[in-house]
Structure 1
Amino acid sequence: DSIRSPSWADGLLLVPGKEFMALRPKRDGSSPEVVWKSNKMQATYATPVYYQGKVYALTNQSVNAIDGASGKLLWQERVTGPFSASPVVADDKIYVVNEKGRIFVLQTGEQSKILGTGDLDDVILATPAIADGAVFFRSDRWVYCFQSPKK
């Protein structure tokens, strides 16, 4: 089993695991308040990402969106895994890449929509990076860069 990283968003500590939890730590050091738990967000090696009030997490077969405040599952979009790289978000788009180099770009928000896919035909285990309007994917041999044309 892998260790996924917790993350901090809107005053909540988001803790992925067998049961995904949102905790509200207390300043006095006492036990945190459990805001919500979900067994629908069993993340793989990938650490979930928080964006505009929603948590996006990968299973080996799907990208899941959950409401960050309530823990309610908003949508589940089927994609092909397995995944080691964590999802990243920019400009209202979620970028995920599986271990075989298949890239999925999804729209963020209340409803799921796959905006595009592509294949690198390379082993990708590292989380993508986003900078200056470009998305970078790294294999053990290459760094791939994708950028939209300037307007």
Structure 2
Amino acid sequence: MTSERFYDALRQSSTLQATLNRYLYVLMGQLGQLVACTRFHVVEARLARWLLMTQDRAHSDHFHVTHEFLAFMLGVRRVGVTKAAGVLQQHKLIHYSRGNITVLDRAGLLAAACGCYGAAEALYDQMIPSPGLMAAPANRHG
């Protein structure tokens, strides 16, 4: 779709406008949450949060991710990832070897994660209901 056609559709559809406004609200909220998390939470808690989010999306206890990628995602040097992963592994929450991560104790990882885990998802669920919820008669006018 060209930008001109998209702009025309946007002008003609209040539903599309409202949906995009909600999406932008969620995106800005997630960005603010990420900035605050990076500034105020220790690397171990941020790594635990990131691993939980990855596990949620991968639908698996096992995934491959490099120190370099984790350092980029967490905004730290690789040595910071090494130390943080070592702490989580020492507490038997994860097993980490050559980029292969296994979540051993999800409940423990939840306890180790900062309070930011789930905040982005909660905001998304609040502002952008799933299609199944939108189709439900009780939610059509609410």
TM-score normalised according to structure 1 size: 0.23
Q: If you compute each CA radius of gyration, which structure gives the higher value, 1 or 2?
A: 2
Q: Which has the higher strand share?
A: 1
Which is helix-richer, 1 or 2?
2
Larger relative contact order (C-alpha < 8 A, sep ≥ 6)?
2
Tell me the TM-score normalised to structure 2 length.
Answer: 0.23
